[in-house]
Amino acid sequence: MKHLIEFKKVYFTYEPEVADPPHALKGIDLQVEKGEFLAIVGPNGSGKSTLARHFNGLLLPSAGEVLIHHFSTSKSTAEQMTEIRKRVGMVFQNPDNQLISSIVEEDVAFGPENLGVPPKEIRRRVNRALAALNIFRYRRESICHLSEGQKQLVAIAGVLAMKPDCIVLDEPTALLDPFSRKQVLENLQKLNREEGIAVVFITHFMSEAVHFDRVVVMDRGEIIGDGPPTKIYSQSELIRGAGLDMPVPARLAAGLTEKGFPLNPGILRVEELVNSLCQLRSKI
């Protein structure tokens, strides 16, 4: 079976000239399928951003290879690299670093314009991307008048207008307030469910990762866990070993269970904790 994206034994060092250099990635094997909704978590310096930059050839493996639609990023011609960048869009932590124009709709049009898409089709794509992210009403606004969260949605719309198969987001919510964070996450979920776009979402927030179908855990340049959130978070040794926190609802549930309140097993989200507490209350 062909994977949308495949990492095969990928190693990466920032210091190739050094003898026996430190590696930021150490033998990464990872497959991403069409339409997946995937979170990557890991402590500081574990290699998440280095990994993210391999998804569309911004960085090339020191050893091993990354295949995007069976093009190897390290062996691609300039034309194939353009195709790769069309198919895999990147969004970074700080929207200010990737917004180019001063007006929302002009910024969203920038990517497809660069690809040589005809003007009528650009207009259609821009409107569609803005509508999909619920920011159509801001289309004529100056970007500097928007909140950080809205700016991040504009950055995502810019990627969406390129019609990618996959969007990779490197801590896109790290600088946002909780409301904007929720808004970005909900919009990504919608794009994934309704447009079938694969989402690879890198985060420090364990509470965000629980909303994904699959969670990959990185530690010191390696993947140490990969599976649905319920499986990953049931491995508390693995989570603690990587210096990560359990999501707050899970910690509360564990604490309450220890104190003799029999809550449902496997609680990760606030809604699950509330439901379980309500069930318990109705039994008392």
Ligand X SMILES: Nc1ncnc2c1ncn2[C@@H]1O[C@H](COP(=O)(O)OP(=O)(O)OP(=O)(O)O)[C@@H](O)[C@H]1O
- Nearest Cα neighbor of 253 from 243, 261, 244, 242 is 261
Instruction: List, in sequence order, the alpha helices (H) in 161-247.
Output: 178-195, 206-209, 229-234, 236-241
DSSP 264: P
Instruction: List, in sequence order, the alpha helices (H) in 94-209.
Output: 104-114, 119-132, 148-160, 178-195, 206-209
49 binds Mg ion (CB under 5 A): yes
How many residues sit close enough to ligand X to count as binding (CB under 6 A)?
10
Residue 22, CA distances (Å) to 30, 66, 107, 205 in order? 21, 20, 39, 27
Binding ligand X (rule: CB under 6 A), the pick from 10, 42, 155, 162 is: 42
List residues bridging with 202 in a β-sheet.
40, 170
The Cα 59–Cα 73 span in angstroms is 9
Cβ partners under 8 Å of residue 200, min gap 6: 32, 36, 38, 40, 52, 55, 166, 167, 168, 169
> Which stretch in 41-49, 75-83, 138-146, 153-161 sits in contact with Mg ion by CB under 5 A?
41-49
- Pattern of binders to ligand X over 44-83, x per CB under 6 A? xxxxxxx---------------------------------
- Nearest Cα neighbor of 128 from 92, 103, 157, 149 is 157
For ligand X, the closer of residues 24 and 153 by Cβ is 24
44 binds, among ligand X, Mg ion, none (CB under 5 to 8 A by kind): ligand X
- Pattern of binders to ligand X over 8-37, x per CB under 6 A? ------x---------x-------------
For Mg ion, the closer of residues 95 and 249 by Cβ is 95
The Cα 66–Cα 29 span in angstroms is 9
Question: Which residue type, as a one-letter code, is found at position 95?
Answer: P
262 binds, among ligand X, Mg ion, none (CB under 5 to 8 A by kind): none
For ligand X, the closer of residues 139 and 220 by Cβ is 220
88 binds, among Mg ion, ligand X, none (CB under 5 to 8 A by kind): none
In the complex, the smallest distance separating the C-beta of residue 218 from ligand X, rounded to whole angstroms, is 7
Residue pointed to by tokens 């991307």: 129
* Residues in region 157-196 near Mg ion by CB under 5 A: none
For ligand X, the closer of residues 92 and 110 by Cβ is 92
For ligand X, the closer of residues 26 and 69 by Cβ is 26
In the complex, the smallest distance separating the C-beta of residue 64 from ligand X, rounded to whole angstroms, is 16
Residues that bind Mg ion (CB under 5 A): 48-49
Residues that bind ligand X (CB under 6 A): 14, 24, 42, 44-50
